[in-house]
Chain A
Amino acid sequence: MATMPASASDLLKSFKLKTKQQELLIRVSILCLVYILAFITRLFSVLRYESMIHEFDPYFNYRTTLYLTENGFYDFWNWFDYESWYPLGRIVGGTLYPGLMVTAVLIYRILRFLRFAVHIREVCVLTAPFFASNTTLVAYFFGKEIWDSGAGLVAAILIAVCPGYISRSVAGSYDNEGVAIFALLFTFYVFVKAVNTGSLAWSLASAFGYFYMVSAWGGYVFIINLIPLYVLVLLITGRYSMRLYVAYNCMYILGMLLAMQIRFVGFQHVQSGEHMAAMGVFFLMQVFYFLDWVKHMLSDTKLFQAFLRITVTSAVAVGGIALGLGMVSGYISPWTGRFYSLLDPTYAKDHIPIIASVSEHQPTAWSSFMFDFHILLFLFPAGLYFCFKRLSDATIFIVMYGLTSMYFAGVMVRLILVATPAVCLISAIAVSATVKNLTVLLRSKNKVVQTGSTKGSGGSKSSSKALLDQSQPFQKNGAIALLFGAFYLLSRYATHCTWVTSEAYSSPSIVLAARGAHGNRVIFDDYREAYFWLRQNTPQDAKVMSWWDYGYQITAMGNRTVIVDNNTWNNTHIATVGRAMSSYEDEAIEIIRSLDVDYVLVVFGGVTGYSSDDINKFLWMVRIGGGVFPVIKEPDYLVNGEYRVDKGAAPKMLNCLMYKLCYYRFGEMMTEYGKPPGYDRARGVEIGNKDVKLEHLEEAFTTSNWIVRIYRVKPPNNRW
C-alpha cells in the first residue's frame, strides 16, 4: 500500500483481486442472493392475492400491533381487552408475547422516520419474510461456526427455501414463529460461539438473544431445556471447561433475569416445572466448579474420590429434597398439559381435547416430513455421521438440537418448524462435506500426477484418498458422477420447495380460490364479507358467539366483541359455547341469553364444498363441551359410531343448534345440477332435516356463497 504503482500494468494488477478477496466477493454475493431469494420466494401470496394477513392467529397479532401503533407501548402493556372473552375480558399485555408486535412497530417507526410512507399492514405482512432472510444469515454464521464457511453457505441456501420453514413465514403469516425461529437460531448460534470462545461478550449476546426469543414465542421453553441438556451431556462426556462455565452461567442468570421482565413469563421462569432443568444444571455446574477447585487443592486422589462421593450424593439429595418440597408446597408448579403432550403424544388426546382438536397439534405423518424436508430427510443422517466423525462442542450441540427437535417434530406437526433449522444445518454439513471431499479428490489426483505429493487443506484425508486412487482407476469418473448426482438432488430440492411454497403454503385461507367451470379463477371472499357486515351494520357493543376458531378474525376484522377466541385460556368458557352449539335450541337459548349474545355466527361449506366448516368441526365442540358438562354425550350425535348429517343421522344431531343454524332454509336450495335440493356438497349427502324452524334466532345475514351465516338473537317475547 505504501509504494505507488510504477506503471499501468502494475496499476491494473493492483485492481485484480487476490484469491482471498475473490472468495470473499463470491461469498458475499451468494449471501446477498440467498437473502433476496429467501424474501421473494415468500411473496407468492402477495402476488397472487394481495398484501393481507393470513389465517387466524396473525389477525390477533395484527390487531394488537395496530393498538400498539395507535396508543403507544404503555397503553399496550396495560391493555385490558373488553372485546374478547366476554364477559371475562382478557389482560392482553400480560398474556401475550410482545416481541413480534414490538418488532413490527419498530420497523414501522424506522421506515416512517426515513420518510417511507408505508402502512403498518405492509410492515406486518412482510415481517416474516424479512426475518426469514435474516435467518439465512444466521444459518450461514452458525454453519461456519460448527463446520466451515462452505457448510454455512449451503445451510443458508437450504434454509432459505425449506418448506418446513416457509410454511410459517410466508408474507402475511404474521405470527410469532416468524421472528421466533430467527431468535431461536440466533440464540443457539451465539451460545455455541460463546462455548467455543469462552467469551463473556458472546454469552451476553446469547442472553439477549434468549430474551428476544422469550419475548417472541412460547417455544423459548425449548431453548431453556435444550441448553441445560447440552451442558449436562458435555459434563457427562467430560468436556467440562471454563469456557462452558462462563457461557452457561452468564447466559442463564442474565437470560433468566431478562426473561422475567416479560409479564407473561414473570416468575414462572423460576417456579414452573418446565424451567427447573435449567436451574438444576446451573447448580450442578457450581458443584462441578467447586469439585474442580477442591481437586486442584487436594493432591490426594483417594481423598478426593471420597469427597466426590459425599458431595455428589449430598448435592443430589439436597436438590431432590428442594424439588420435592417445592412441588409439595406448590411453590414449583407442575408441568403444564402442553408440555406433557409433547413428552407423551397420546396425553392430549385423552386429557385435553382442546389441544387435540387443533389440526397443527396432531402427530406428524410421514408424508408431511417428506413434504417439508424432501431430500433433507436423507441428508440428515448423513450429516449426523459427519458430525460424529468430527466431534466437537459445536457439533455435539447441533446433533442434540437435531435429534431432540426431530422427536418433537414427530409429536406435533407444527414443531417441524423448530426442527427445520437443525435439519438444514446438519444436511448442509453432509452436502458440504461430500462435495468438498469429491472436489478434493478430483483436484488431488491431478496433483498426484503432477507433483506426487499432496499439500494444502486436504491434509491426511486427501493423501489417504490419493493412496486409494491407485487401486480404483474409475474413481475420478465416479466422483464426477456423484457430484452430478448431488447437484441433481439439490436442483430437485429447489423445484420441490418452490412448488410446495406456491401450491400449499401461499393461500391466505381468508380468501378462498377455486377454478370455475371455464378454467377461470373464482374467488370466495365470504369471510371478509361477513366480518365487514358485522363491522358496519351491527351495534358497536354487539356480542358475537361463534366457535373459537373465528374469534380473532371477528375482533380484528369485524371489530365486535366475541365470547371465545383462539387464545384458548379458559376451557370452561369454550365448553359453554360448545354446549350451546350442541344443545337443542330452547336449551341453547338459555346459555346464549346468559352470555348476553346478540349474534351467532357459523361457518358452513355445504354450498361451495368448503370442507373445514363448523359441521365438520362439530364433534370437537361436542367433545369439548362434554368434557366440562357431562349432559353432552358424544354417542348421542353418532349413529353406530359414525358421524352423519343425512336422513340416517342421530335425532339429537338433526335438531341441535349447530345443525339448525347451518342448514336453516338450506333444504330449498339447489346446490348442484342433478341433485335434490338440500344437497350438501361438502359432505356429499342430502341433508336429513330440511324443515328447519328457528324460534329464538333469526337469520341476520348470509354471505353470497353461504360460507358464513350470522343469526340475530331475538329479544324475549313479551309476557302478559
Chain B
Amino acid sequence: MEAPIRAREALGFILFSLLFSICRSSSLNHLLISNAERRIDLSSHIVKVYLTLKVENAGSTPTSEVLLSFPPTQADHLATVEALVTKGKRKKTTLVRLDVKATELPDAPNDAKYFTIYLANPLKSGESTTIEVLYLLTHSQEPFPAEIAQSESQLVYYRDSALILSPYHIKQQTTFIKTPSTKVESFTRVEPSNRAGTEIKYGPYEDHPPYSFSPILIHFENNSPFAVVEELVREVEISHWGNLQVTEQYTLVHAGARHKGVFSRVDYQSRPTLNGASSLRYLLARLPPRVHSVYYRDEIGNISSSHLRTDSRKSELEIEPRYPLFGGWKATFVIGYGLPLQDFLFETSDDRRYLNFTFGCPLLETVVDKLTVKVVLPEGSKDPSAVVPFPVEQHLETKYSYLDVVGRTVVVMEKKNLVPAHNSHFQVYYTFKPIFMLAEPLMLASAFFLFFVACVAYLHIDLSIRK
C-alpha cells in the first residue's frame, strides 16, 4: 500500500506547485500571514483544528476581509468554522466572535473552497491582528484496515497537509497534531518534523508562498467509538397547557472499522478492554433541566438499559443500545421527554410568542449527518417564522394530533453534517390566540353531553310501533 500513496502525495505536491505558479500573479490583496500555528486534535472521531493566524496588511488600502481556504476534500467534511479575535489588553482580554461566510471565488485553484472572515474593524495598512479560527471536520479519519476482528484495535488514516493551505503568503508556520494514544503506526515526514508522546510536530516552516501544499498521512490507533447519527428527526411539540414534548428518532451507526467475523460474548464479558475496545457501549445525552417522562424505546419496544440523572442545571441521560455497537453495526431508537413550557416559550413585546430551543443533537461527541427539526405549533397558530444562527433549509407541514380539526402547523428545518458545536439556540415565532386552547376540551364536553342527551331521550321515547 505504501507505494501508491507516496505516488499520490507526490502528484498532489506537483499539482499544487503548478497551481501556485498560476496563482502567484493574481494576488488577492495585500495581506500576508506573519505567523500561523495550527493544532489538530485527533483524539476523537471529530477532528478539531485550532488555527492561530497573525494577519498583517502589507498593502496600502485598509481591508476587513480575510480569506480561509480549504481543499475540496476537507470542505465536504467541514462541519463548522468559527473565528474569534481577542480584544482588550493583558488580563482583561475578551474573545469576540467574527462573522464567517462561505464564499465563492471565480478563479479558485483546484476547486479550493473559501470562507471569508469579516473583521470588526478594518485592518489598516501596516497593522496586524491575531485571529483564532476553530473548525471541525467530520468523517475525516478513514479506518485502515477497514475491517477488524473483535480483539483488534482500530487504526485510522488522517490526511492533511503539512503546510497550511492559504491564499496568502505565510512567513512562518507550525502544525501540531495530537493523537489519542502513543500508538502511531506511521506518519509522513516533511522535515523538520518529529514525534514526541502523543504529539507530532510539523515545522516550523519558513516563507511559503500562497497555496503551498504538502500532503501528509498519519496512521494511528483511535479506539474512540465513531458514533455517527445518520439521521435524526427531532420533533418539538408545543402545548399551551404547559408542556413541551420532544421526540427524537435516531439512526445510529458505528462508523469506525467494520467488525469482521466472530462476536464472542465470553471474551467481551471477561476481558472488556482487550476485546471490543472500539465498541460503542453507551451514549450520554445532555437534556435540559426539569425534564420529565423520559422514555427510550425502539420499534419493538422499550429498552430497559438507561439511567437518568437530574440536577438543577442539567439532566443527563445515559443510554445503552440493546447490544454493543461494533464497527458497521446499526441501532435505531427513539428518545422522548417532556419539558415545562415556561422554560422555553416566551412572549415578545408585540404579542407574538416564540420558542427558544437548542438546535443540535443532545448526544455528546456525536456527528449527525442529517438533522431535521420539526416544531409543531399548537392548532390555530399563525405566521410562523424561524430564526436559526446558521443556514438551514425550511418548509412548512401540517400534522394531525389528538382531536385536531384543521391540523397543526409544523415548521421543518433541515441541516446536514452537524457536530455538538451546533447546539445553539434557535427561535420560532408565531401568533396564537389563547381562546383556541379551549376548543378541544369543549369538543369533548359537548360530545359527552350529546351522548347523555341521547341516552335520556332514548329512555323517554317509546319507539315501538305496536301500542
Task: Answer whether residue B9 sits at the interface, using C-beta atoms and an 8 A cutoff.
Answer: no
Task: Answer whether residue B90 sits at the interface, using C-beta atoms and an 8 A cutoff.
Answer: no
26 contacts between A and B (CB under 8 A): A50-B297, A50-B302, A52-B301, A52-B302, A115-B403, A115-B405, A116-B402, A117-B400, A117-B401, A511-B301, A511-B304, A525-B303, A525-B304, A525-B322, A528-B300, A529-B322, A531-B300, A532-B322, A533-B322, A535-B299, A536-B329, A536-B332, A537-B329, A669-B266, A700-B263, A704-B323
The residue in chain B whose Cβ has the minimal distance to the Cβ of A121 is B301
Question: Quick one: which of A337-363 are within 8 Å of B by CB?
Answer: none
Task: Answer whether residue A691 sits at the interface, using C-beta atoms and an 8 A cutoff.
Answer: no
**Which residues of A are found within 8 Å of B404, using beta-carbon distances?**
115
Task: Answer whether residue B261 sits at the interface, using C-beta atoms and an 8 A cutoff.
Answer: yes
**Which residues of A are found within 8 Å of B266, using beta-carbon distances?**
665, 668-669
Of the candidates B261, B323, B328, B329, the one whose C-beta lies within 8 Å of that of A703 is B323
Of the candidates B263, B297, B330, B405, the one whose C-beta lies within 8 Å of that of A701 is B263
Task: Answer whether residue B196 sits at the interface, using C-beta atoms and an 8 A cutoff.
Answer: no
**Which residues of A are found within 8 Å of B402, using beta-carbon distances?**
115-117
Tell me the bound Cα distance from A668 to B304 in angstroms: 28
Interface size band for A: 20 to 34
**Which residues of B are found within 8 Å of A117, using beta-carbon distances?**
400-402
Q: Knowing A115-B405, A523-B304 touch, does A698 contact B265 (C-beta < 8 A)?
A: no
**Which residues of A are found within 8 Å of B414, using beta-carbon distances?**
none
Task: Answer whether residue B264 sits at the interface, using C-beta atoms and an 8 A cutoff.
Answer: yes
Tell me the bound Cα distance from A536 to B266 in angstroms: 22
Closest Cβ of chain B: how far from A341's Cβ, in Å? 34
Question: Quick one: which of B235-278 are within 8 Å of A by CB?
Answer: 261-266, 270
Task: Answer whether residue A252 sits at the interface, using C-beta atoms and an 8 A cutoff.
Answer: no
Of the candidates B261, B264, B328, the one whose C-beta lies within 8 Å of that of A665 is B264
Closest Cβ of chain A: how far from B49's Cβ, in Å? 33
Tell me the bound Cα distance from A704 to B303 in angstroms: 13
Q: With A52-B302, A698-B261 given, can you name 8 additional A-B contacts, CB distance below 8 Å?
A: A50-B302, A511-B304, A525-B322, A529-B322, A533-B329, A536-B331, A704-B265, A706-B265
Tell me the bound Cα distance from A702 to B270 in angstroms: 14
Of the candidates B264, B301, B330, B403, the one whose C-beta lies within 8 Å of that of A702 is B264
Question: Quick one: which of B391-421 are within 8 Å of A by CB?
Answer: 400-405
Tell me the bound Cα distance from A511 to B303 in angstroms: 11
The residue in chain B whose Cβ has the minimal distance to the Cβ of A50 is B302
Are B400 and A115 in contact, with the CB atoms below 8 A?
A: yes
Tell me the bound Cα distance from A537 to B262 in angstroms: 13
**Which residues of A are found within 8 Å of B330, using beta-carbon distances?**
536-537
Tell me the bound Cα distance from A700 to B322 in angstroms: 15
Tell me the bound Cα distance from A529 to B302 in angstroms: 11
Closest Cβ of chain B: how far from A577's Cβ, in Å? 24
Task: Answer whether residue B41 sits at the interface, using C-beta atoms and an 8 A cutoff.
Answer: no
Closest Cβ of chain B: how far from A427's Cβ, in Å? 32
Question: Quick one: which of B320-357 are within 8 Å of A by CB?
Answer: 322-323, 328-332
Tell me the bound Cα distance from A176 to B48 in angstroms: 58
Task: Answer whether residue B82 sits at the interface, using C-beta atoms and an 8 A cutoff.
Answer: no
The residue in chain A whose Cβ has the minimal distance to the Cβ of B298 is A532
Q: Knowing A116-B402, A529-B322, A529-B323 touch, does A699 contact B301 (C-beta < 8 A)?
A: no
Are A50 and B400 in contact, with the CB atoms below 8 A?
A: no
Are B262 and A698 in contact, with the CB atoms below 8 A?
A: yes
**Which residues of A are found within 8 Å of B405, using beta-carbon distances?**
115
Tell me the bound Cα distance from A698 to B259 in angstroms: 14
The residue in chain A whose Cβ has the minimal distance to the Cβ of B321 is A532
Residue interface bits A261-284, CB-to-B below 8 A is 1, else 0: 000000000000000000000000
Task: Answer whether residue A624 sits at the interface, using C-beta atoms and an 8 A cutoff.
Answer: no
Task: Answer whether residue A589 sits at the interface, using C-beta atoms and an 8 A cutoff.
Answer: no
**Which residues of B are found within 8 Å of A523, using beta-carbon distances?**
304
Residue interface bits A82-125, CB-to-B below 8 A is 1, else 0: 00000000000000000000000000000000011100000000
**Which residues of A are found within 8 Å of B301, using beta-carbon distances?**
50, 52, 510-511, 528
Closest Cβ of chain B: how far from A509's Cβ, in Å? 13
Of the candidates B300, B304, B305, B400, the one whose C-beta lies within 8 Å of that of A532 is B300
B interface, CB within 8 angstroms of A: 261-266, 270, 297-305, 322-323, 328-332, 400-405
Task: Answer whether residue A425 sits at the interface, using C-beta atoms and an 8 A cutoff.
Answer: no
Closest Cβ of chain A: how far from B458's Cβ, in Å? 12
**Which residues of B are found within 8 Å of A50, using beta-carbon distances?**
297, 301-302
Q: Knowing A115-B402, A117-B402, A532-B300 touch, does A702 contact B322 (C-beta < 8 A)?
A: no
The residue in chain B whose Cβ has the minimal distance to the Cβ of A533 is B323
Tell me the bound Cα distance from A50 to B297 in angstroms: 11
Are A702 and B263 in contact, with the CB atoms below 8 A?
A: yes
**Which residues of A are found within 8 Å of B304, using beta-carbon distances?**
511, 523, 525
Residue of A510, A528, A669 with most partner-chain B CB within 10 A: A528
**Which residues of B are found within 8 Å of A668, using beta-carbon distances?**
266, 270
Tell me the bound Cα distance from A528 to B332 in angstroms: 13
The residue in chain A whose Cβ has the minimal distance to the Cβ of B303 is A525
Closest Cβ of chain A: how far from B319's Cβ, in Å? 14
Residue interface bits A648-691, CB-to-B below 8 A is 1, else 0: 00000000000000000100110000000000000000000000
Tell me the bound Cα distance from A702 to B305 in angstroms: 17
Tell me the bound Cα distance from A50 to B300 in angstroms: 11
Task: Answer whether residue A384 sits at the interface, using C-beta atoms and an 8 A cutoff.
Answer: no
Tell me the bound Cα distance from A699 to B404 in angstroms: 51
Tell me the bound Cα distance from A537 to B321 in angstroms: 13
Of the candidates A537, A557, A701, the one whose C-beta lies within 8 Å of that of B300 is A557
**Which residues of A are found within 8 Å of B403, using beta-carbon distances?**
115-116
Closest Cβ of chain A: how far from B397's Cβ, in Å? 15
**Which residues of A are found within 8 Å of B322, using beta-carbon distances?**
525, 528-529, 532-533
Closest Cβ of chain B: how far from A245's Cβ, in Å? 25
Closest 3 CB pairs of A and B: A702-B265, A536-B330, A50-B302
Are A701 and B323 in contact, with the CB atoms below 8 A?
A: yes
**Which residues of B are found within 8 Å of A531, using beta-carbon distances?**
300
Tell me the bound Cα distance from A706 to B270 in angstroms: 14
Tell me the bound Cα distance from A52 to B262 in angstroms: 32
Closest Cβ of chain A: how far from B42's Cβ, in Å? 28
Q: Knowing A117-B402, A525-B304 touch, does A532 contact B265 (C-beta < 8 A)?
A: no
The residue in chain B whose Cβ has the minimal distance to the Cβ of A525 is B304
Residue of B262, B300, B330, B400 with most partner-chain A CB within 10 A: B300
**Which residues of A are found within 8 Å of B297, using beta-carbon distances?**
50
Tell me the bound Cα distance from A598 to B402 in angstroms: 44
Tell me the bound Cα distance from A116 to B440 in angstroms: 12
Tell me the bound Cα distance from A537 to B331 in angstroms: 8
Closest Cβ of chain A: how far from B28's Cβ, in Å? 50
Tell me the bound Cα distance from A706 to B265 in angstroms: 8
Tell me the bound Cα distance from A699 to B270 in angstroms: 16
Question: Quick one: which of A522-551 are within 8 Å of B by CB?
Answer: 523, 525, 528-529, 531-533, 535-537
Residue of B261, B302, B305 with most partner-chain A CB within 10 A: B302
**Which residues of A are found within 8 Å of B332, using beta-carbon distances?**
536
**Which residues of A are found within 8 Å of B331, using beta-carbon distances?**
532, 536
Tell me the bound Cα distance from A533 to B325 in angstroms: 10
Of the candidates B263, B299, B302, B401, the one whose C-beta lies within 8 Å of that of A699 is B263
Closest Cβ of chain B: how far from A300's Cβ, in Å? 42
The residue in chain B whose Cβ has the minimal distance to the Cβ of A522 is B304
**Which residues of B are found within 8 Å of A49, using beta-carbon distances?**
302
The residue in chain B whose Cβ has the minimal distance to the Cβ of A710 is B263
Residue interface bits A701-719, CB-to-B below 8 A is 1, else 0: 1111010000000000000
The residue in chain B whose Cβ has the minimal distance to the Cβ of A698 is B262
Question: Quick one: which of A502-532 are within 8 Å of B by CB?
Answer: 510-511, 523, 525, 528-529, 531-532
